[in-house]
Structure 1
Amino acid sequence: MNNRVKDALIRCNALAYGDFTLASGKKSEYYIDIKKASTDPYILEIIADEMAKEIENQGLQFALIGGVALGSVPLAVALSLRTKIPYVMIRKEKKDHGTQKLIEGTMPEGSKILMVEDVITSAGSVSTAIDVVRNAGGIVENVFCVVDRQSGGLEALQQKNVNLLSLITAEDVLKK
């Protein structure tokens, strides 16, 4: 368990109890509001530092960091600034205007991308983003999230031959 991240999430009041509907559609008695954390430069810096340390410890090699718009983009930016590895933003759907691209930034074909995500529940959003990247010729082997809610995301990503790394699990966050 990463106590530095847990303490930071608690300190910024990112953990709330009540009746919540998650992006996956599942109901939950608690909510981890990573947006509170990722909009605070001090907490975001802690997350990026801890991710960078774990990347080094794991010996992960990749050319780009991928952030799913909108929630994961601050994480991708912070990690990019920390590691000096460029990032791309992956949209869920094309815009009606501009370039209408699903991937913003430069991603040469064959690039290995580390996808970052704030919270993984069912891994639906990041699975869609992985498909977008792979369809554009990118390689995704790993997803790194801040919090794994331990609600099927790991298994969903394994079905896509993708490894899930997390700084902290829901079990860790909820432990007193």
Structure 2
Amino acid sequence: MLNKERVIEIFEKSEVLLHGHFLLTSGRHSNQYMQCAQLLQYPEYAEEISKGLADNFRDDNIDIVIGPAMGGIIISYELARQLKVKNLFAERENGKMALRRGFFIPEGARVLVAEDVITTGGSVREVMDIVKEQGGEVVGVAVLVDRSNGTIDFGTKLAAALTTEVISYDPEGCPLCKEGKQPAIKPGSRKI
């Protein structure tokens, strides 16, 4: 069973946690950033953490795992491999999440949504909407890091390898901006 101490050990070894002044995908600012791509460059760590996450869903009869591009692609693939099911990913098209490349979700499919990091859960909700629009059933959400400290409710089972609260600020009230030490940087893959 995957435990918090082991997850933190893996995150430290793979340099997932960054410190500075960051612009998050949500538009908020923070002095910490979880760069899960650092973790995913080590297949043995991705496999170990994904196995621990997948254990939460082994009895849920999952048919498909889907994640949003970019952050959710590798983790959704590894979860699908662990669960021995089909894997898809959604990507932005004209600013909106969509299934492309001939991907589809069959009516009644039981779907697990996977993501690397959640702060507000926006990308996960967009993917959940796609699943529902296609007639699938979202039976769970699996994430590497839940930055909301468990406050997000997707209306379904949520499993996170690490649940933590990383303080974030509205840009107007950001103390890091007020100090003027350095501008906020966007280390993630999506531009706002």
Q: Does the C-alpha gap of structure 1 residues 162 and 85 become closer, same or farther in structure 2, counting only changes over 3 Å?
A: same
TM normalised by structure 1 equals 0.81
2:68 equivalent to 1:74: no
Following superposition, the deviation at residue 93 of structure 1 comes to 2.3
Which AA in structure 2 matches 1:107?
Answer: I
Q: Which runs of 5+ in 1 are unaligned?
A: 96-100
Following superposition, the deviation at residue 51 of structure 1 comes to 1.3
Match of 2:22 among 15, 20, 37: 20
Paired positions, count: 161
Following superposition, the deviation at residue 7 of structure 1 comes to 1.0
Cα displacement string for residues 125-159 of structure 1 (whole angstroms, at most 9, x for unaligned residues): 1111111111111111311111110168613x2xx
For the pair shown, which has the larger CA radius of gyration, 1 or 2?
2
Q: Which runs of 5+ in 2 are unaligned?
A: 167-192
Q: Does the C-alpha gap of structure 1 residues 49 and 114 become closer, same or farther in structure 2, counting only changes over 3 Å?
A: same
Q: d(CA) in 2 for partners of 1:69 and 1:45?
A: 19
User: Residues 66 and 89 of structure 1 are in contact (CA less than 8 Å); yes or no, is this contact kept in structure 2?
Assistant: yes
Which AA in structure 2 matches 1:86?
Answer: K
Secondary structure of 2:88's partner? strand
2:163 equivalent to 1:169: yes
Q: d(CA) in 2 for partners of 1:148 and 1:168?
A: 6
Q: d(CA) in 1 for partners of 2:72 and 2:91?
A: 11
Q: Percent identity?
A: 29
Which AA in structure 2 matches 1:118?
Answer: D
Whose RCO is larger (CA < 8 A, sep 6+)?
2
Following superposition, the deviation at residue 164 of structure 1 comes to 2.1
Q: d(CA) in 2 for partners of 1:138 and 1:73?
A: 19
Match of 1:125 among 123, 126, 130: 123
What is the 5 A alignment of 1:1-176?
Answer: 1-56=3-58, 59-93=59-93, 102-104=99-101, 105-150=103-148, 154-155=152-153, 157=154, 161-171=155-165
User: Residues 149 and 165 of structure 2 are in contact (CA less than 8 Å); yes or no, is this contact kept in structure 1?
Assistant: no
Q: d(CA) in 1 for partners of 2:139 and 2:35?
A: 26
Q: Does the C-alpha gap of structure 1 residues 149 and 113 become closer, same or farther in structure 2, counting only changes over 3 Å?
A: same
* Structure whose residues are more often helix by fraction: 1
Give the aligned CA root-mean-square deviation in angstroms: 2.3
Following superposition, the deviation at residue 117 of structure 1 comes to 0.8
Q: d(CA) in 2 for partners of 1:2 and 1:151?
A: 13
Secondary structure of 2:93's partner? coil
User: Residues 60 and 139 of structure 2 are in contact (CA less than 8 Å); yes or no, is this contact kept in structure 1?
Assistant: no
TM normalised by structure 2 equals 0.75
Which AA in structure 1 matches 2:87?
Answer: Y
